[in-house]
């Protein structure tokens, strides 16, 4: 079966999220693989939001541009997505919006409005939804009008509830209609409804009834029920349903997170809020423990409080996004200078300033590599997909403690709001590396916090725990941690700190540094990092199937940069393509700085949206065919 | 241990006559009297002359960042609540760049002690006005007189929710020692403002000014307790008592000039301490605070039961 | 005449600064060229500080390692500097310190103490000052004991003052002794004393008498008066005496600085304090104006307040050092996003965290290039010497307003505390470029703040002044400045902003981008940036004289990087040497990222001290002779 | 101009029933009544739902950064003192991340108006606790009840030195309008707390809660002026009057629960305004404030007389 994309759009606050969750779980429970993602505005209610649910019989790696079924809860959704629907696809809309004139939609961007109206005006048509849908129908799309009002009226009659309450089931109705059209049973839908609303019996009753009404309604439409999922091979083993923030949080819990500080910020907040709700964590010895999660007054406090906690031996982290990270950089330098292990989970979003709070971008790479005045070692790692988030979050603490430095775990909005069916995390192999901790047997009264050593590691005393007292300082210091301005001490301490990165580069295994995929013989090599992984893997798979072989490398460890490892792979006869989700080609800069070699093509996207597999295949094909420009910029005209 | 034993060997580089020496001595005495072991104490310093204090004490010493001493100290205390955690720093550190943390730390009734060295100037950067300098005052390093009103540390602490608020003077060793002891003993957030002459940059309010008034020929400083002032809100106090103690603190906080009160201005014994509240929520907190959640030995297995944790994510 | 280095050292608070000023002015007034620099601890009184005054008959470009005359106001100064004195040099010390044992000097770093004692102990000598001086004498140095106490007693007798008051003239006495030994007249010294203490008549009287006593004292020593400056050709034209912070401040005043915000921080504060004292600035039309200088509560406020001011059309700046800059990066991004012209003068110092507050480093280059989450254009320029500081500070505002973006003017502690005799600034050629300002003639009600244009420049409305109202936003926005999350708007706005850098790269003249020095035919090319300029120019001059030709390029415009211009100069047959004052070779990284070409040698120094011409010549010679390693690290074993 | 004319065309994206609409209307009315021209007004917004206000007003609008609205607004006002400068923002923006600026801006008696939208939550980030939420309170988006005491905005403003302090309520349009007018008219730093229901996230203190008490069946909110409260310290007031007005403000600031005062809490007419003081120091300031120091036309020569300026640097 080819992957099936279902999309639902509507105003924020209308339950898009929950609809997508319901539909995703419904499909996943059939044994199908699912990947869901979400786009939304920085707004609480009213602005447009949509969710994609992509379904397959093999693990779904990425999302795609073109839905086979589009569910529009309002007129704006039709405007934003109608052009993307596959020509054989379905578009379910509210029958009452047909006469809505596009100029009534005040939240449409002028540019989009213009794009929509131009063809209609040219054809001397009314600029309304009806005409848009007519056009779509001419292109082979099947519009399905849905009379929600009648259904709401039935619900009101049955449950004796006010209109607004009945209207709340709109999202569930939308899912039920889709499910009915796709040949899924109403029992399965009702089962998931019961799961999702499990602590609200009235909601379960109302929505279950809504499901029935929707199925009845579809039956009256006389449309052939599609059966894309019938008779396909499905998975029978245990699978998880997690999104990026949950995956990170679970990795942290596995690592023994002691304290997480945070200041609310999209799209990072959800991780901390999720952790907050997990204050009772089951232990292997049948006891319970739980991390302390502290909402601080700002991000300056978040990073410094985490550092303070780390001095006691607690595994300490903070989680943020660009603006918050901007406020953390002095604290980050302190961690570097005092060799304090601290983990920062950074969910990139569109910058600079407040930027695009809920849109994705890989715009912080160079900033993260150099954040903070002065020079200090740090480790930067980036996860490629939801599954990697878990293992990387776990590993981040090991790196931080082993090398006694700040670790930045690069994530982004794209990962945060992508949920996936995944195989259960393999936790048996996980080992906690605490690095060299100063043990209390030693009897002298002071610990030498910054003992000079060849590999740069000084055994780390912990406040109180190590019993020896010690000094530590963000001012340059000697071995005992007291201030020193001596030029020789300065030089040695700088060298000691930097040596830890040499050690890390030596010790960290290859598979934690890079991932190599696709055809090793291919003459095209695509190199990238972070959340582009899914789209890339799917694209090279398609390319390889089309006999256009490509190899792909995902760089996971961004600092210390695995230059030597890459050099071995990047043969001079290969054409290099670098792909990233930003404007200035930050990874390309880094690559060139570290490898000095030429890059043949750069694929960039910087409109706040992630790469999509279709456009990627197109670009790669043109590169393969030799018709491509050096620089290729991906867009989204609509959406 | 004796006070002297809390002194480090390294050479102190404060100026001769600096009030900071007095504060240092009082801290040493307080530690000795409290009978604390050095490794149980962690002193966090801000950045400034005052911020260097941790180097001079034979206890754990952490020299943090300008303005951030409170969040650092808070993190350590939350992670290991059995330690005695003390934050020290200048008035610029705490009320200029650090004012946001000052206010918000007050909201948490966390059991730590904050000693603010008020010399009315930015000492280490050569004498600019600190937020404590009064409207119209001009020290010798300032180009013009201050055009801004000053921050009253006691008032700000009260407004922010600190549950123990006091004021001491750097050169009154015994009184200051007692105040520090009291602040540390208080189970909650304790804020102690210390009037600290800076002989190099503050030519307005020097030792002489504090200890001598033309009017009376005596010190301006008087102990609140000498006037029978009772700062404490008892454990089960009613709303009235809260209001009364709050109002009297406001009133005393305004006094300045020929008579300046020192001593305990306010203490709220009725407010539950922050880590106590955490342990009501996280039952394991006392036994396994963040500092003790992961085994210290190398290469252990995760202690978390992942099977159980992942259950609700399993389809 | 060869350049003459005079050095004075002593505890902070003992008037080292003033002594150096006095001596510098004294020499400069003779028509000599002078360069003075200062090293000091982050401490108010007691720790060691010293000043170098280098004197020549041609402009003095840089400082040097080895004094011909060393004046030690205390025992610690002897320890820190005795090893540097030229073997034909003089060492003036206080006769009362001879018996001081080194272990009594509690502020000596253990490492230094060890270094000093080892040879003494080996020779079975006492570890005291006397023996150190004896060793020095054996190496050809002339120690001159100075009995300050007797002089103080005389002053006390004469002026009936307490001991501490008399002791305050120690620094002036030290200068007078030096002057006497160097054959300068006591009248000239007294003249300068009068200038320097001009508003304190008692101080003038006391110190003038001290000068006389010193001259009398020297006469009794029976030492031949040296006459290094006798009969040399001297300058007769007007010259300035300014240091780096003054030069920057004067450039800002010339540019019409309207407001400067600052939060105190070494080594930047002096600039703002200097501006504060200049609140009455003379205008050409005989009126006066003056910038508003505001001490803010922190650096977050400093940058954002400057941005707020810039919106009104004021030329707005802030001045800081590393830790402060770390707190400004979110604000910087706001300026980038809203295209607000703001100038940040960044005096680099040793980092990270509090680091080495009073020591130099070029450690913030990469940070500055990437500071702030997300992507936005900025211009980064670095001054090479005190003279350039003036012109660059002036220019920074032109860049900021013409391209509507934040400009970072990179300086460092080395420049801040270097003073020089300079030719008067050429101000006749200065032109103020305000960029495109929206004029009020236009009658529509809103200004389109972010009008899309080819070159990226949108005419800039000013609050109130332009009469049209406008919106501006740190959130991504459309042309009117309202929020837009449209992918197309996002792309276009990002491209518009970035286009301004392309324009800047095209428009900025070559001599504002790079400076080319030395032998253009040379096969060695030394490339560097910032305050290394003086040492480099002097070094290549010496090398060229010794028939070891070298060419040098100083890169002044660091972003947009003048890659094309450099490519034209960097021929493949040249050996490239990159030199900078940091550990990680930040400029080398940038160079490689932008030019992709190989670097043959890197010269780095990262001990908090600037490069010194002698060691530079040594390294360059070894490169020339083919005996050098790829990486060469410069040290200072002693101070 | 009419209030309506201060409304922009663009679609507002606040939630239905949000208190912010009330505040917006009051601002429009106030601008109309003050007879100000749009280009003379600059409204600076923080980040949050509240921070979007500038987009909806037909005056100069600047959307700043989270927590920094006060320094931005301060910079503009200092650079061009003839503008009417207004800062608006949420309680998280102003008292969480922005608390340091809140306190330190109070020290400058600069003629600007700060409207703080107090909804007790972080609206735009989905309802986390703001620093104004009370100890023990738990809104629906919070996992657990607040373990911290809250910031009392009026108290903090008083402590910080604001010279006009008031409180309004988002849905009492006329009263709020009057307060905004009064705040703008005040020549000095004016702080107005606005109680703002957030129907989406604050289920504790909604419109109903504010406007109805079980006890009286009436609104909790009462106007201070109705009780004859007199907030003002007159121009030549003595120390006693200062203390009295301060103390009564402290007392009123504590009131909460069944009776909540709104109106003007405090006004100090005796304090000199900040730009007035600057112009005493920089004589040219009024005529040539920073905004007007450089000619607007292209390619002009520096106006500064460099010869004269460089004199003291010439050897
Ligand atoms: C972010 C940052 N900004 C500025 C500084 C520079 N700085 C060092 S100490 C200090 C102020 C010291 O004043 P205070 O806190 O009152 O301490 P004191 O020296 O008076 O004891 C400042 C501004 C810094 N270290 N970090
Ligand atoms: C530095 C930074 N941290 C965090 C955020 C995320 N953020 C956006 S709005 C907001 C809080 C909004 O709360 P409040 O100020 O009370 O305004 P309201 O939405 O309630 O009106 C936060 C934390 C940000 N934009 N910038
Ligand atoms: S400058 Fe002032 S505060 Fe700092 S050490 Fe000297 S006397 Fe003390
Ligand atoms: S979330 Fe609350 S404050 Fe924000 S717009 Fe909605 S109702 Fe208003
Ligand atoms: Mg101070
Ligand atoms: Mg709020």
The label of the residue with tokens 């050709």 reads C233
Q: Mutation test of the interface with chain C: which of B46, B119, B125, choosing the one with the most C Cβ atoms within 10 A?
A: B125
pLDDT band at A199 (very low <50, low <70, confident <90, very high): confident
A205-218 pLDDT, tens digit each = 999 999 999 999 99
pLDDT band at C1 (very low <50, low <70, confident <90, very high): confident
Q: What's the whole-number mean pLDDT along residues C133-147?
A: 95
Considering only A373-387, B145-159, B301-315, D197-211, which range has the smallest mean pLDDT? Answer: B301-315
List the one residue out of B231, B307, B303 whose CA is nearest residue B265: B231
pLDDT of residue A442: 61
Q: Decide: helix, strand or coil at residue D254.
A: helix
Chain B residue with Cα closest to C276: B143
Beta-carbon contacts of A456 under 8 Å, excluding residues fewer than 6 positions away, are A495, A496, A497, A498, A499, A500, A502, A503
D106–B contact, CB cutoff 8 A? yes
pLDDT of residue C444: 65
Q: Which stretches of chain B drop beneath a pLDDT of 50? A: none
Q: Would you call D47 and A44 a contact, using CB atoms and an 8 Å cutoff?
A: no
pLDDT of residue A618: 96
CB D23 within 8 A of CB D117: yes
Beta-carbon contacts of B222 under 8 Å, excluding residues fewer than 6 positions away, are B259, B260, B261, B262
Beta-carbon contacts of B101 under 8 Å, excluding residues fewer than 6 positions away, are A297, A300, A301, B67, B68, B69, B70, B71, D100
Chain B residue with Cα closest to A476: B63
Q: Would you call C471 and D62 a contact, using CB atoms and an 8 Å cutoff?
A: yes
Q: With 80 as the cut, is the pLDDT of residue A572 above it? A: no
Angle, helices C201-221 vs C148-159, to 10°: value is 140
pLDDT of residue C441: 62
Q: What's the whole-number mean pLDDT along residues C521-550?
A: 96
How many CB atoms neighbour CB C2 within 10 A?
8
Dist CA D246 CA D161 (whole Å): 10
Q: Would you call A352 and C375 a contact, using CB atoms and an 8 Å cutoff?
A: yes
How many CB atoms neighbour CB C110 within 10 A?
13
Ligand nearest to the CA of C372: 2
Q: With 80 as the cut, is the pLDDT of residue A600 above it? A: yes
Q: Mutation test of the interface with chain C: which of B47, B97, B133, B198, choosing the one with the most C Cβ atoms within 10 A?
A: B97
The two tokens of residue C499 are 């286009």
Comparing CB atoms, the residue among A42, A264, A353 nearest residue D122 is: A264
C34-82 pLDDT, tens digit each = 999 999 999 999 999 999 999 999 999 999 999 999 999 999 999 999 9
Q: With 90 as the cut, is the pLDDT of residue C240 above it? A: yes
pLDDT of residue A1: 76
Q: Would you call C352 and A374 a contact, using CB atoms and an 8 Å cutoff?
A: yes
Comparing CB atoms, the residue among C258, C427, C437 nearest residue D290 is: C258
Dist CA C581 CA C413 (whole Å): 12
D8-39 pLDDT, tens digit each = 989 999 999 999 999 999 999 999 999 999 99
CA of C535 to the centre of ligand 3 (A): 36
User: Which ligand 4 atom is nearest residue D14's CA?
Assistant: 5
Q: Mutation test of the interface with chain A: which of C12, C450, C487, choosing the one with the most A Cβ atoms within 10 A?
A: C487
Nearest chain C Cα distance for residue D250, angstroms = 25
Ligand nearest to the CA of B122: 1
pLDDT of residue C442: 61
Is the distance from the beta carbon of residue B117 to the nearest atom of ligand 1 less than 6 Å?
yes
List the one residue out of A393, A389, A384 whose CA is nearest residue A253: A393
Q: Which of residues 101-130 of B touch A (CB under 8 A)?
A: 101, 103-104
pLDDT of residue B152: 98
pLDDT band at C153 (very low <50, low <70, confident <90, very high): very high
> Which residue of B66, B87, B132 sits with most ligand 1 atoms within 8 Å of its CB, as the best mutation to test the pocket?
B66
pLDDT of residue A56: 95
Q: Which residues line ligand 2 (CB under 6 A)?
A: A 263-265, 299, 323-324, 327, 354; D 46-50, 66, 89-93, 117, 119, 121-125, 130
Dist CA D266 CA D274 (whole Å): 18
> Which residue of D53, D66, D116 sits with most ligand 2 atoms within 8 Å of its CB, as the best mutation to test the pocket?
D66
- Alpha helices by DSSP H, listed for C124-255, are 129-138, 148-159, 163-167, 170-181, 186-196, 201-221, 244-255
CB C187 within 8 A of CB C195: no
The two tokens of residue C233 are 């050709």
Q: With 80 as the cut, is the pLDDT of residue A445 above it? A: no
Nearest chain A Cα distance for residue C329, angstroms = 6
CA of A380 to the centre of ligand 2 (A): 27
Q: What's the whole-number mean pLDDT along residues D111-128?
A: 97
D277–B contact, CB cutoff 8 A? yes
C106: which chain B residues are within 8 Å (Cβ-Cβ)? 10-11
A323: which chain D residues are within 8 Å (Cβ-Cβ)? 65-66
User: Which ligand 1 atom is nearest residue B122's CA?
Assistant: 13
D38-86 pLDDT, tens digit each = 999 999 999 999 999 999 999 999 999 999 999 999 999 999 999 999 9
Looking at ligand 1, which residue's alpha carbon is closest to its atom 10?
A: B48
Chain D residue with Cα closest to B143: D281
Q: With 60 as the cut, is the pLDDT of residue C443 above it? A: no
D16: which chain A residues are within 8 Å (Cβ-Cβ)? 45
The values of phi and psi at residue B215, to 5°, are -55, -55
pLDDT of residue A408: 98
Nearest chain A Cα distance for residue B311, angstroms = 9
Q: What's the whole-number mean pLDDT along residues A116-134?
A: 95
D161: which chain B residues are within 8 Å (Cβ-Cβ)? 148-149, 151
The two tokens of residue A620 are 């790669």
CB C470 within 8 A of CB D55: no
pLDDT of residue A227: 85
Residue B127 region by backbone torsions, left for phi larger than 0, else alpha for psi between -120 and 50, else beta: left
D144: which chain B residues are within 8 Å (Cβ-Cβ)? 281
Is the distance from the beta carbon of residue C323 to the nearest atom of ligand 1 less than 6 Å?
yes
Is the distance from the beta carbon of residue B15 to the nearest atom of ligand 3 less than 6 Å?
yes
pLDDT of residue C383: 98
pLDDT of residue A87: 94
Beta bridge partners of A295: A262
pLDDT of residue C232: 82
CB A608 within 8 A of CB A356: yes
Q: Would you call A280 and B314 a contact, using CB atoms and an 8 Å cutoff?
A: no
List the one residue out of A366, D215, B13, B92 whose CA is nearest residue C11: B13
Beta-carbon contacts of C375 under 8 Å, excluding residues fewer than 6 positions away, are A351, A352, A363, A582, A583, A584, A586, A606, C494, C498
D81: which chain B residues are within 8 Å (Cβ-Cβ)? none
How many CB atoms neighbour CB C187 within 10 A?
9
Dist CA C41 CA B33 (whole Å): 36
Chain C residue with Cα closest to B143: C277
Q: What's the whole-number mean pLDDT along residues A328-344?
A: 98
For the stretch D216-230, what's the b/e string if a residue is b when 16 or more beta carbons lie within 10 angstroms of its beta carbon? eeeebbeebeeeeee
Q: In this complex, which chains have at least 3 CB pairs below 8 Å with chain B? A: A, C, D
Is the distance from the beta carbon of residue B141 to the nearest atom of ligand 3 less than 6 Å?
no
pLDDT band at D147 (very low <50, low <70, confident <90, very high): very high
Considering only A438-442, B1-5, C476-480, which range has the smallest mean pLDDT? Answer: A438-442
A63-112 pLDDT, tens digit each = 999 999 999 999 999 999 999 999 999 999 999 999 999 999 999 988 89
Is the distance from the beta carbon of residue B133 to the nearest atom of ligand 1 less than 6 Å?
no
B107: which chain D residues are within 8 Å (Cβ-Cβ)? 131, 148-151
Chain D residue with Cα closest to A104: D11
CB B273 within 8 A of CB B188: yes
A337-357 pLDDT, tens digit each = 999 999 999 999 999 999 999
Complex ipTM > 0.95? yes
pLDDT of residue A639: 74
C464: which chain D residues are within 8 Å (Cβ-Cβ)? 39-40, 42, 60, 80, 82-83, 291
The values of phi and psi at residue B268, to 5°, are -115, 105
Dist CA B166 CA B152 (whole Å): 12
Q: Mutation test of the interface with chain B: which of D81, D104, D159, choosing the one with the most B Cβ atoms within 10 A?
A: D159
């Amino acid at each position: 079966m080819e992957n099936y994309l279902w999309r639902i759009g509507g105003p924020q606050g209308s339950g898009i999220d929950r609809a997508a969750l319901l539909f995703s779980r419904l499909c996943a429970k059939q044994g199908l693989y699912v990947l869901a993602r979400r786009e939304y505005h920085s707004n609480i209610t009213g602005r447009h939001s949509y969710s994609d649910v992509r379904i397959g019989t093999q693990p779904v790696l990425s999302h795609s541009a073109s839905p086979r079924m589009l569910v529009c809860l309002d007129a704006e959704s039709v405007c934003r997505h109608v052009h993307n629907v596959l020509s054989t696809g379905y578009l379910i809309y509210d029958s009452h919006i047909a006469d809505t004139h596009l100029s009534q939609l005040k939240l449409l961007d002028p540019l989009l409005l213009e794009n929509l109206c131009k063809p209609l005006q040219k054809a001397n048509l009314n600029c309304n939804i009806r005409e848009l849908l007519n056009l779509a129908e001419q292109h082979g799309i099947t519009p399905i009008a849905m009379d929600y009002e009648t259904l709401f009226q039935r619900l009101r009659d049955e449950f004796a509830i006010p209109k607004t309450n009945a209207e709340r089931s709109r999202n569930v109705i939308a899912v039920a209609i889709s499910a009915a059209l796709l040949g899924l049973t109403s029992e399965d839908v009702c089962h998931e409804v019961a799961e999702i609303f499990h602590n609200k019996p009235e909601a379960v009753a109302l929505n279950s009834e809504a499901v029935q009404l929707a199925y009845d309604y579809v039956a009256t439409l006389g449309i052939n029920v599609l059966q894309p999922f019938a008779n396909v091979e499905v998975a029978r083993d245990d699978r998880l349903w997690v999104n990026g923030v949950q995956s990170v949080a679970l990795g942290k819990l596995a690592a023994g997170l002691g304290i997480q500080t945070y200041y609310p910020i999209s799209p990072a907040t959800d991780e901390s809020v999720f952790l907050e709700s997990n204050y009772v964590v089951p232990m292997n010895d049948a006891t319970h423990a739980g991390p302390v999660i502290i909402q601080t007054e700002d991000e300056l406090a978040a990073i410094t409080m985490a550092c303070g906690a780390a001095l006691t031996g607690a595994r300490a982290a903070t989680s943020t996004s660009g603006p918050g990270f901007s406020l953390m950089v002095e604290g980050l330098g302190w961690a570097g200078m005092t060799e304090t292990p601290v983990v920062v989970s950074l969910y990139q979003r569109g910058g600079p300033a407040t930027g695009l709070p809920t849109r994705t971008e890989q715009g912080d790479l160079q900033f993260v590599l150099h954040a903070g005045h002065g020079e200090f070692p740090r480790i930067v790692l980036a996860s490629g997909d939801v599954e990697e988030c878990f293992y990387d979050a776990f590993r981040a603490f090991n790196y931080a403690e082993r090398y006694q430095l700040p670790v930045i775990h690069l994530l982004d909005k794209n990962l945060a709001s992508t949920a996936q069916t995944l195989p259960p995390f393999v936790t048996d192999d996980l080992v906690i590396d605490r690095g060299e901790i100063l043990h209390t047997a030693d009897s002298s009264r002071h610990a030498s916090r910054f003992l000079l050593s060849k590999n740069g590691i000084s055994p780390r005393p912990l406040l109180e725990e190590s019993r020896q007292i010690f000094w530590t300082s963000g001012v340059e210091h000697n071995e005992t941690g007291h201030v020193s301005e001596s030029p020789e001490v300065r030089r040695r301490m700088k060298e000691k700190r930097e040596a830890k990165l040499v050690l890390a580069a030596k010790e960290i295994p290859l598979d934690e540094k890079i991932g190599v995929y696709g055809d090793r013989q291919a003459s095209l090599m695509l190199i990238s990092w972070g959340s582009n992984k899914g789209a890339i893997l799917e694209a090279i798979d398609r390319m390889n199937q089309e006999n256009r072989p490509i190899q792909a490398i995902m760089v996971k460890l961004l600092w210390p940069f695995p230059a030597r490892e890459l050099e071995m792979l990047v043969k001079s006869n290969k054409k290099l393509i670098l792909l990233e989700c930003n404007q200035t080609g930050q990874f390309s800069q880094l690559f060139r700085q570290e490898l000095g070699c030429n890059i043949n093509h750069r694929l960039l996207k910087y409109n706040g949206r992630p790469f999509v597999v279709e456009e990627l295949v197109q670009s790669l094909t043109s590169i393969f065919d030799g018709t491509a420009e050096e620089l290729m910029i991906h867009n989204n005209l609509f959406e | 241990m004796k006070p002297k034993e809390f002194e480090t060997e390294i050479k102190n580089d404060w100026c001769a006559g600096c009030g900071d020496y007095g504060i240092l001595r009082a801290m040493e005495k307080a530690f000795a009297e409290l009978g604390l072991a050095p490794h149980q104490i962690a002193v966090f310093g801000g950045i400034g002359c005052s911020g260097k204090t941790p180097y001079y004490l034979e206890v754990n010493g952490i020299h943090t960042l300008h303005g951030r001493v409170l969040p650092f100290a808070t993190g350590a205390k939350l992670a290991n609540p059995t330690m005695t955690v003390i934050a020290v720093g200048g008035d610029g550190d705490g009320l200029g760049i650090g004012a946001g943390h000052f206010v918000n730390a007050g909201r948490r009734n966390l059991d730590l002690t904050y000693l603010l060295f008020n010399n009315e100037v930015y000492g280490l950067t050569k004498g600019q006005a600190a937020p404590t300098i009064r409207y119209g005052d001009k020290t010798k390093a300032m180009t013009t007189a201050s055009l801004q009103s000053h921050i009253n540390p006691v008032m700000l602490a009260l407004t922010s929710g600190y549950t123990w608020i006091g004021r001491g003077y750097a050169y009154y060793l015994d009184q200051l020692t007692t105040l520090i002891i009291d602040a540390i003993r208080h189970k909650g957030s304790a804020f102690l403002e210390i009037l600290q002459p800076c002989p190099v940059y503050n030519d307005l309010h020097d030792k002489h000014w504090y200890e001598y008034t033309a009017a009376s020929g005596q010190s301006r400083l008087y102990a609140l307790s000498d006037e029978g002032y009772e700062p404490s809100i008892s454990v089960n106090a009613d709303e009235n008592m809260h209001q009364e103690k709050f109002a009297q603190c406001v009133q005393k906080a305004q006094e300045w000039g020929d008579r300046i009160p020192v001593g305990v201005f306010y203490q709220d014994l009725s407010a539950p301490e922050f880590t106590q509240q955490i342990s009501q929520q996280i039952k394991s907190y006392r036994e396994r605070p963040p500092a003790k959640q992961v085994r210290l030995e190398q290469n252990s297995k995760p202690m978390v039961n992942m099977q159980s944790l992942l259950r609700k994510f399993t389809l």
